[in-house]
């Protein structure tokens, strides 16, 4: 299915979750989730006395509430410091997305977690053909899950020129690429990492700092301030 948040699309699988699962994910009590559902404050469907929640709708709901989103990300122990290394931060100079994606996929494939470089490149390009991973504001988050990846890994590309052929809803050319490759069984971690970047990059001052950065170390510091 398509995951939409503020005009930004990701292709993901949907899941139906229970009150207990939502409470665990959001790190709140089941009573709190039940109260939200009763009041219509969280997207939910009721069947008899049982409440059900679509993961994609709850993700969208959490994105619109920074306090909830921050609580989820921190409680799940995901921090940018654990995802980013300077060796996988590069500066790109490609006008077209295919060239930029191949260049960045080649960088991420140097990580020991990636066991099949060519499969990764092929799948990144195939995913992009299915639907653009550009999310607006000059950002693209190409992402893939593969059995040939043993653990989640990230590479960052700062483009020194406008990448003009991403299909972007706001028509802003892409300058920032955050590529995520995860193992096939890392569904939750994968979604949480997408959410983390999506939330962090809403800050226009951060985006400008990244574009103006002169070294991988400056990019790293800007992201971790």
Indicate which residues carry an active-site annotation: 143
Q: Which residues, 6+ apart, have CB-to-CB distance to 91 below 8 Å?
A: 157, 158, 159, 160
Which two three-digit tokens encode residue 138?
A: 């000059």
Scanning the structure block, which residue is given the tokens 């290394």?
85
**Do residues 187 and 174 lie in contact, with contact meaning Cβ atoms separated by under 8 Å?**
no
Residue 100: name the closest of 135, 117, 120, 125 by CA. Answer: 125
∠70-72-75 over CA atoms, to 5°?
Answer: 100
């Amino acid at each position: 299915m398509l995951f939409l948040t503020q005009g930004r699309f990701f292709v993901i699988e949907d899941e139906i979750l229970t009150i207990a699962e939502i409470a665990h994910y959001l790190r709140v009590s089941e009573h709190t989730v039940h109260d939200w559902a009763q009041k219509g404050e969280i997207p939910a469907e009721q069947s008899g006395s049982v409440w059900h929640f679509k993961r994609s709708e709850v993700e969208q709901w959490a994105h619109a509430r920074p306090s909830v989103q921050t609580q989820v990300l921190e409680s799940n122990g995901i921090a940018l410091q654990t995802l980013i290394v300077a060796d996988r931060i590069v500066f790109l100079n490609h006008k077209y997305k295919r060239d930029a994606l191949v260049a960045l996929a080649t960088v991420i494939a140097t990580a020991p977690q990636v066991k099949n470089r060519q499969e990764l490149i092929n799948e990144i390009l195939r995913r992009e053909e299915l639907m653009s991973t550009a999310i607006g504001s000059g950002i693209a988050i190409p992402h893939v899950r593969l059995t040939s990846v043993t653990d989640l890994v990230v590479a960052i590309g700062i483009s020194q020129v406008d990448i003009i052929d991403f299909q972007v809803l706001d028509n802003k050319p892409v300058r920032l690429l955050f590529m995520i490759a995860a193992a096939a069984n890392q569904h939750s971690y994968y979604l949480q990492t997408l959410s983390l970047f999506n939330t962090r990059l809403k800050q226009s001052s951060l985006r400008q700092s990244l574009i103006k950065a002169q070294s991988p170390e400056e990019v790293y510091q800007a992201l971790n301030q």
